[in-house]
């Protein structure tokens, strides 16, 4: 569907209103060397690494730098996400990058092995945070906060085998929105799904679907199918693979590796291959086995109410009740959800498989784990998978050949003559003090052509030019880089004229 | 000087245009309980921590959470700082929180012991970054970038003994601006000092001074005073204490603890007690001992040129040439600087001693340490001490009794009647989709008074009210929270009317 991809490329491109000529690092040909270092002193202090064996300059495995080009894309995404969180009345919170090690234990089930620990250098045992949810729960319990709508943007760390092609890293950024507090049922839950829809639509990632299930329905289903409680975890993790491998393979794993009776696996198969909307919820209410289970009925009742609210929000058609959705983390207790892109727009042929781009659920017991008296604070929330969204958008921009402007400089201060550094410095200082974004070349006597080339390379729209003639007449030349038109402006009017031009563009 | 403090309090207050009534966590009296958790399931999975011995809920030593109120202050500071960096044409960069351990070795001198190492869990040996400068140098070398003006906002970690009263933490935020590349002398260095002035003035922290020195002058001075090169480091660290203890105490340390001859210490004393402007530079040029030293002369020549540019930037009176400034980090090679507040505005009596609030210098050899062939890229930069600035501003706001608004919600959706949840959800969805920041209470049947109280508590300016009468007439009531005036508006005009009101306010 090339027209689909194209439409989306164009729409996203409009977000980047300042896309310009190739930026990157501008080469200026003549370089005047000036020894600002005493070589003798330096070498006595600093030994270059090449003297050591096996030294490779790199970032740690599974991590990366973000270049200025990448940071522009990253910040566009974060602005959109944070803007949505604020639209829904959330406050911002920040927590340390590491927590006491014991804060993170028994929260992540099988994934606990992926937690980064800090070395014991004397003092407390510490671990890097694995997500933003557990620190939030710790904050609520520690400060005895019973009600809070907060967002948190920050890095988290997981020692996963990085498959970088799919946008998975050991260090990655999460954007979390959570609602803590005892409220009437499913209203905050519905808002979380609304937020996911707003963000995924706003980012123009193409068509998406949010799968919804409930831990109580999942547990109830396993119980009525005859799975012993001790195997719930293992069987859930098999079910969770259904978006990657076929039911036959999942069934084989359950029976051959996890020792489930074939008829039990088949009963599970009847359920986990179901997905649909409100009608599927009704069907499950009537299901002879499932309707016997109290937990499952509670979950189904809540899902029904949820879909009522989703319909009022106009997003019901984006949500699919999916009995195969299992979400690994131990702390979920109620509704769970996960957003997937239905196709990778424009790059389907390049098989950029990004998996889920947002997920979350209800965790009513987590805060109580931190409270000395076990007092619970019900919570529901979501997390946006920034790295995966980033991978899609970066790929799209690459494919389109668009260049991204990495600075916001509005005015360049130039001179056609030698020995005008002093005047340029005075002038640019005036611009900075007036709040105008301005640059000059760090050279005593740059050539005019070099200066104008720099503006074109960097996409700077305006140039102010000062020379002997201008100085004598008390004027400055103001030049448009694109049209190359020049006008002389009285020096005292320059700032006002520049501000007028910039507000018009 | 109470009038001084007051003036600054008022000026800063104007930045917070939306300061309102006490916000915090609003208590709504009636709570309808709904069991969204299967208790049996939860307790089987989650064990509260109180069952373990000695469990205290806290953040790790030297770290802290930032509450929503604190995050508002933090973000105002970061916006100001980043705005200035962009005004000077910088691109944004990001690097991982940890680096290969060997990247950080031999960069920080005596401070290396403060680096946080990660536990060896198999694989690479890693350390949390100690500053943003070394990762920047590593980035330049790794990508063979020869020229770049970048900024970086991020957390760094140091295992210092935290003296929290002074705003020192083991995890803290830095804002760095650096210029890498071979340029004509002292132009980038002068811009760094200009940036420090713009930021410190912009934040209205009160009067400040930037001390400037040069590593070459410092080393030259030690040499001509007769300090053996092996003792340069130790003596520098003594000199560095002159802003905290008297010269007599520093002298005693040099002689008694570090084995310096008394007459050598006295010669040092003659220099390090000097500070001033251009005239002091001239004086040092004439100094019989110092003028014998090639390094010192190079440093003095650069400082003289620097002051020329600072005068053109109109900031020379903020800069003091100070022979006692030593800066601990190993990587500095040329000019070094450090900004100090001349008094703690408004809270002098509370002895909130924050020390230096910004610092930096030239490090021409650091990139070469990472380059396989030792190729150098000269760099100069600065770092803003966000935590210390934050401590001052937070204290000031506390003293003034001002309350900070922690959300940006513009409109609250209310109803005076029972059974209007559906209409409220439809209405708020329309507002969200129009980009309006809106909230409602997560209750089926909230009381109108509770809803209006919430708006007053949270500083929400507008309320839209929908009831049976409005629904029948196809209107919505729009209420101003402050004036309590209400008007009926046709439903189809509501979004436009709200947007008009918000743009006027």
Counting residues of chain B whose pLDDT is more than 70, the rounded percentage is 85
d(CA B426, CA B183): 61
Mean pLDDT calculated for residue range B68-90: 98
A314: which chain B residues are within 8 Å (Cβ-Cβ)? 429, 433
Count each helix (H run) and each strand (E run) in chain B, helices first: 18, 16
Number of helical (H) and strand (E) elements in chain A, helices listed first = 18, 16
B165, exposed or middle or buried, with CB in 10 Å at 0-12, 13-18, 19+? exposed
A111 versus B190: which is more confidently predicted? B190
Chain-chain contact of A65 with B432 (C-beta, under 8 angstroms): no
**Interface residue of A56, A72, A96 to substitute, partner B, most B CBs within 10 Å:** A96
CB-closest option in B75, B86, B438 to A408: B86
Average the pLDDT over A457-476 and give the result: 96
Q: Is B150 an interface residue toward A (CB < 8 Å)?
A: yes
Give the mean pLDDT of B35-40.
Answer: 34
Q: Which contiguous run of DSSP H or E holds residue A394?
A: helix A386-400
3-state secondary structure A450-475: HHHHHHHHHCCCEEEECCHHHHHHCE
Q: What is the mean pLDDT of residues B372-392?
A: 94
Residue of B nearest to A332 (CA): B42
Higher pLDDT, A504 or A19: A504
Indicate the residue of B90, B106, B364 with minimum beta-carbon distance to A36. B364
Burial class (CB in 10 A: 0-12, 13-18, 19+), B226: middle
Q: Does the structure show a pLDDT above 70 at B411?
A: yes
Element (H, E) at A320: strand A319-322
Res B35: pLDDT: 34
What is the pLDDT, as a whole number, of residue B344? 53
State the pLDDT at residue A106.
82
Q: Which residue in the set B94, B102, B312 is minimally distant from A422, CB to CB?
A: B312
Q: What is the 3-state secondary structure (H, E, C) of B160-194?
A: CCCCHHHCCCCEEEEEEEEEECCCCCCHHHHHHHH
Q: B444 to chain A: nearest residue by CA?
A: A184
Average pLDDT over every residue of A295-300? 97
Confidence of residue A379 (pLDDT cuts 50, 70, 90): very high
Q: Which residues contact B462 (CB under 8 A, 6 or more apart)?
A: B410, B411, B412, B478, B479, B480, B481, B498, B501, B502
**What's the mean pLDDT in B361-388?**
94
More confident residue, B32 or B77: B77
pLDDT for the residue A327: 79
Low-confidence winner among A161-165, B63-67, B271-275 (lowest mean pLDDT): A161-165
Average pLDDT value for residue range A426-442 = 98
Q: CB under 8 Å to B11, separation ≥6 — which residues?
A: B204
Classified as helix, coil or strand, B259 is: coil
Candidates A417, A459, A376; CA nearest to A145 is A376
User: How many A/B residue pairs have CB atoms within 8 Å?
Assistant: 362
Which has more confidence, A420 or A112?
A420
Cβ–Cβ < 8 Å for B269, B302: no
Of A63, A334, A370, the CB nearest to B57: A370
- Say if residue B176's pLDDT is above 70: yes
Are the beta carbons of B22 and B402 closer than 8 angstroms?
no
B346: phi > 0 → left, psi -120 to 50 → alpha, else beta; which? left
pLDDT tens per residue, range B460-498 = 999 999 999 999 999 999 999 999 999 999 999 999 999
> What integer is the mean pLDDT of A341-347?
64
Distance, C-alpha A95 to centroid of its chain: 17
pLDDT over 80 at B109, yes or no: no
Question: In this predicted structure, what is the pLDDT of residue B237?
Answer: 86
Which of B98, B138, B181 faces A57 most closely, judged by CB atoms? B138
B10 CA to centre of own chain: 21
Token readout for B244 is 């905290």
Work out the average pLDDT over A491-496.
96
Tell me if A429 and B194 make a contact (CB, 8 A cut-off). Answer: yes
Q: What are the angstrom distances between the C-alpha of B232 and each of B212, B220, B223, B455?
A: 19, 10, 9, 63
- Model's pTM, two decimal places? 0.88
Crossing angle for the helix pair B294-312 and B278-286, nearest 10 degrees? 160
The rounded distance, in Å, linking the Cα atoms of B76 and B93 is 20
Segment among A82-96, A99-113, B371-385, B486-500 with least mean pLDDT: A99-113
Spatial CA neighbour of B296 closest among B321, B261, B264: B321
What is the band of A344 on the pLDDT scale with cuts at 50, 70, 90?
Answer: low
What's CA A459's distance to the chain center, in Å? 27
Partner-chain contact B49 A369, CB within 8 Å = yes
Integer Cα distance of A443 and A445 in angstroms: 6
pLDDT on residue B284:
96
Contact criterion met (CB below 8 Å) for B339 and B200: yes
Distances (CA, A) of B387 to B81, B172, B192: 13, 6, 20
**Burial level of B53, CB count in 10 A (0-12/13-18/19+)?**
exposed
Between residues B276 and A347, which one has the greater pLDDT?
B276
Kindly identify which residue of chain A lies nearest to residue B128, measuring between CA atoms.
A118
pLDDT value of position B22: 33
A33 band by pLDDT with thresholds 50, 70 and 90: very low
| Mean pLDDT, residues B264-287 taken together | 94
pLDDT of residue A501: 95
Q: 3-state secondary structure string, A412-443?
A: EEECCCCCCHHHHHHHHHHHHHCCCCEECCCC
Q: Using a CB-CB distance cutoff of 8 angstroms, which residues of chain A are in contact with residue B64? A: 96
The pLDDT value recorded for residue B14 is 40
Q: Quick one: CA dihedral B12, B17, B19, B23, positive or negative? A: negative
Q: Which of A44-48, A173-177, B383-387, B485-489 has the weakest average pLDDT?
A: A44-48
**Adjacent-strand bridge partners of B155:** B173
Return the percentage of chain A with pLDDT > 90, whole number: 76
Give the chain A residue nearest B101 (alpha carbons).
A60
Least confident span in A442-456, B25-39, B434-448: B25-39
Decide which of A329 and A454 is more confident.
A454
Is the per-residue pLDDT at A419 higher than 50?
A: yes
Q: Which residue did the predictor score with more confidence, B424 or B35?
A: B424
pLDDT in tens, A267-286: 999 999 989 999 999 999 99
| CA A440/CA A463 separation, integer angstroms | 10
Answer whether residue B256 shows pLDDT above 60.
yes
Contact A365 B45 (CB under 8 A): yes
List CB contacts (< 8 A) between A457 and chain B.
none
Cβ-contact A362, A335 below 8 angstroms: yes
- Please give the residue of chain B at the shortest CA–CA distance from A330: B45
Q: Do A425 and B362 touch (CB under 8 A)?
A: no
| Cβ neighbours of B31 in A, within 8 Å | 182
Choose from B23, B33, B37, B64 for mutation: most chain A CBs within 10 A. Answer: B37
Note the pLDDT of residue A57.
93
Query: Any CB–CB contact under 8 A between A57 and chain B?
Result: yes
Tell me the pLDDT tens digit for each residue of A200-256: 999 999 999 999 999 999 999 999 999 999 999 889 889 988 888 899 999 999 999
Q: Is the Cβ pair B49, A124 closer than 8 Å?
A: no
Dist CA A129 CA A296 (whole Å): 33
Q: Per-residue pLDDT tens for A102-120? A: 999 888 877 788 999 999 9
Which residue of B60, B147, B200 is the best one to mutate when testing the A interface, meaning the one whose CB has the most A CBs within 10 A? Answer: B60
Decide if pLDDT at B343 tops 80.
no
Instruction: Provide the pLDDT for residue A350.
Output: 46
Kindly state the tokens that stand for B42: 């939860």
Do the Cβ atoms of B223 and B336 come closer than 8 Å? no
| A96 with B371: Cβ contact below 8 A | no
Q: B110, B233 in Cβ contact below 8 A?
A: yes
Chain A positions in Cβ-Cβ contact with residue B157 (cut-off 8 Å) = 97
The answer to whether the CB atoms of B148 and A373 lie below 8 A apart is no
> Residue B70 and residue B397: Cα distance in Å, rounded?
11
Q: How many CB atoms lie within 10 A of CB B347?
A: 17
Tokens of B122: 């198999």
Interval B353-368: pLDDT, tens: 557 899 999 999 999 9
- Band of the pLDDT at B162, cuts 50, 70, 90? low
Q: Which of B157, B151, B8, B38 is nearest to B92 (CA)?
A: B151
The count of C-alpha atoms lying within 13 angstroms of the C-alpha of A463, restricted to the half-sphere facing its C-beta, is: 27
pLDDT (average), residues B56-79: 96
Best mean pLDDT range from B28-32, B157-161, B379-383, B395-399: B379-383
Q: pLDDT at position A161, please?
A: 77
- By CB neighbour count within 10 A (0-12 exposed, 13-18 middle, 19+ buried), where does A241 fall? middle
Considering only residues 176 to 235 of chain B, which have any Cβ-Cβ distance to chain A shorter than 8 Å?
179, 181-185, 187-188, 190-191, 194, 198, 215-216, 219, 229
Contacts of B171 in chain A (CB under 8 A): 96-98
Residue among A50, A52, A184 whose CB faces B443 most closely: A184
* Residues of chain B contacting A442 with CB distance shorter than 8 Å: 179, 181, 183-184, 187-188, 191
pLDDT, average across residues A3-25: 35
- The length of chain B in residues reads 505
Element (H, E) at A196: helix A187-202
Q: How large is the average pLDDT for residues A474-494?
A: 97
A contact test, residue of B87, B186, B313 with most A CBs within 10 A: B87
Q: What SS3 state is found at A273?
A: coil
Phi, psi of B379 (to 5 degrees): -140, 150
Residue B403: φ, ψ to 5°:
-105, 145
H-assigned helices in B327-418: 366-370, 386-400
Mean pLDDT of chain B: 87
End-to-end CA distance of chain A: 36
User: Rounded to an integer, what distance in angstroms lies between the CA atom of residue A365 and that of residue A359?
Assistant: 18
Check CB contact of B144 with chain A, cutoff 8 Å: no
Which 3 state secondary structure label does DSSP give A319? strand
Q: Name the DSSP letter for residue B112.
A: G
User: How far does Cα A92 stand from its chain's mean position?
Assistant: 16
The reported pLDDT for the residue numbered A28 is 29
User: Which residues 266-325 in chain B show a CB within 8 A of chain A?
Assistant: 294-295, 298, 302, 309, 312-314
**Cβ B109 vs Cβ B421: under 8 Å:** no
ipTM of the predicted structure? Answer: 0.88
A91: enclosing H helix or E strand? strand A91-92
Nearest CA in chain B to A62: B96
Pairwise CA distance, residues A468 & A419, whole Å: 10
Question: B147 and A25: CB-CB below 8 Å?
Answer: yes
pLDDT of residue B505: 77
**For position A103, what pLDDT does the model report?**
93
Q: State which residue of chain A sits closest to B59, comparing Cα positions.
A: A99
- Rounded mean pLDDT, B221-244: 90
Q: Can you name the residues that pair with B379 across neighbouring β-strands? A: B180
Q: Which of A35-39, B271-275, B439-443 has the lowest mean pLDDT?
A: A35-39
Phi first, then psi: give them for residue B51, nearest 5 degrees: -75, -20
Dihedral of CA B35/B38/B43/B47: which sign? negative
Give bridge partners of residue A97 from the DSSP assignment: none
Answer yes or no: are the C-beta atoms of A334 and A296 closer than 8 Å.
Answer: no
In this structure, the number of other CB atoms found within 10 A of the CB of residue B332 comes to 24
Is residue A209 exposed (0-12), middle (13-18) or buried (19+ Cβ within 10 Å)?
middle
> In this complex, do A184 and B442 lie within 8 Å of one another by their Cβ atoms?
yes
Residue A200, token pair as written in the block: 């995924």
Residue B47 has pLDDT above 80, yes or no: no
Contact A90 B407 (CB under 8 A): yes
The per-residue pLDDT for A38 is 34
pLDDT at A377 over 80: yes
Average pLDDT over residues B267-273: 94
Average pLDDT for A299-324? 97
Report the pLDDT value the prediction gives residue A164, as an integer from 0 to 100.
54
B411-414: strand order across its sheet: B438-439, B411-414, B462-465, B475-480, B486-490
Tell me the shortest Cα–Cα distance from A464 to chain B, in angstroms.
16
Does residue B5 have a pLDDT over 60?
A: no
Nearest-Cα distance to chain B for A196, in Å, is 13
Answer yes or no: do B373 and A50 touch at CB < 8 A: yes
The beta-carbon neighbor of A365 closest among B42, B102, B366 is B42
Residue B305 confidence (pLDDT) above 70? yes
A99–B146 C-beta distance less than 8 A: no
Best mutation target, B442, B444, B461, to test chain A (most A CBs within 10 A): B442
Mean pLDDT (whole number) for A181-191? 98
CA A19 – CA A202 distance, rounded (Å): 20
- A412-441 residues touching B, CB cutoff 8 A: 421-422, 425-426, 429, 432-433, 435-439
């Amino acid at each position: 569907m090339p027209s689909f991809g194209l439409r989306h490329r164009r729409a996203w491109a409009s977000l980047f209103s300042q896309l310009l000529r190739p930026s990157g690092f501008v080469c200026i040909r003549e370089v005047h060397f000036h020894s600002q270092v005493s070589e003798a002193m330096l070498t006595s202090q600093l030994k270059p690494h090449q003297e050591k064996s096996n030294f490779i300059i790199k970032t740690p495995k599974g991590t990366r730098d973000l270049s200025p080009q990448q940071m522009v894309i990253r910040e566009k995404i974060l602005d959109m996400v944070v803007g949505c969180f604020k639209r829904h009345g959330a406050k911002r919170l920040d927590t340390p990058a590491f927590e006491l090690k014991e804060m993170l234990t028994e929260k992540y089930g099988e994934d606990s092995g992926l937690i980064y620990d800090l070395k014991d250098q004397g003092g407390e045992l510490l671990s890097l945070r694995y997500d933003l949810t557990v620190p939030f729960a710790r904050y609520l319990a520690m400060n005895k906060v019973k009600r809070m709508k907060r967002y948190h943007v920050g890095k988290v760390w997981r020692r996963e085998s990085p498959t970088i092609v799919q946008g998975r890293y050991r260090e990655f950024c999460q954007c979390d929105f959570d609602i803590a507090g005892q409220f009437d049922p499913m209203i905050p839950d519905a808002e979380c799904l609304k937020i996911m829809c707003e963000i995924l639509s706003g980012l123009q990632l193409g068509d998406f679907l949010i799968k919804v299930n409930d831990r109580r329905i999942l547990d109830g289903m396993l119980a009525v199918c005859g799975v012993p409680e001790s195997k719930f975890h293992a069987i859930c993790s098999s079910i969770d693979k259904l978006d990657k491998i076929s039911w036959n393979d999942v069934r084989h794993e359950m029976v051959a590796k996890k020792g489930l009776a074939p008829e039990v696996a088949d009963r599970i198969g009847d359920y986990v291959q179901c997905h649909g909307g409100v009608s599927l919820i009704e069907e499950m209410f009537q299901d002879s086995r499932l309707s016997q289970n109290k937990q499952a009925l509670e979950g189904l009742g809540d899902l029904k109410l949820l879909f009522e609210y989703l319909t009022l929000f106009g997003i019901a058609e984006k949500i699919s009740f999916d009995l195969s959705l299992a979400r690994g983390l131990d702390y979920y207790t109620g509704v769970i959800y996960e957003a997937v892109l239905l196709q990778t727009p424009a790059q389907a042929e390049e098989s950029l498989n990004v998996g889920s781009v947002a997920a979350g659920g209800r965790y009513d017991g987590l805060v109580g784990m931190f409270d000395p008296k076990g007092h619970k604070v019900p919570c529901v929330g979501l997390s946006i998978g920034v790295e995966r969204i980033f991978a899609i958008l970066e790929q799209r921009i690459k494919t389109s050949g668009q260049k991204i402007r990495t600075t916001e400089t509005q005015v360049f201060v130039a001179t056609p003559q030698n020995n005008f550094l002093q005047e340029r410095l005075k002038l640019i200082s005036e611009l900075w003090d007036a709040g105008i974004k301005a640059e000059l070349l760090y050279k005593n006597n740059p050539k005019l052509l070099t200066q104008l080339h720099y503006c074109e390379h960097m996409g700077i729209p305006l140039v102010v030019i000062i020379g002997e003639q201008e100085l004598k007449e008390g004027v400055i030349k103001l030049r448009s880089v694109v049209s190359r038109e020049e006008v002389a402006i009285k020096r005292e009017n320059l700032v006002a004229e520049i501000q007028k031009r910039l507000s018009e563009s």
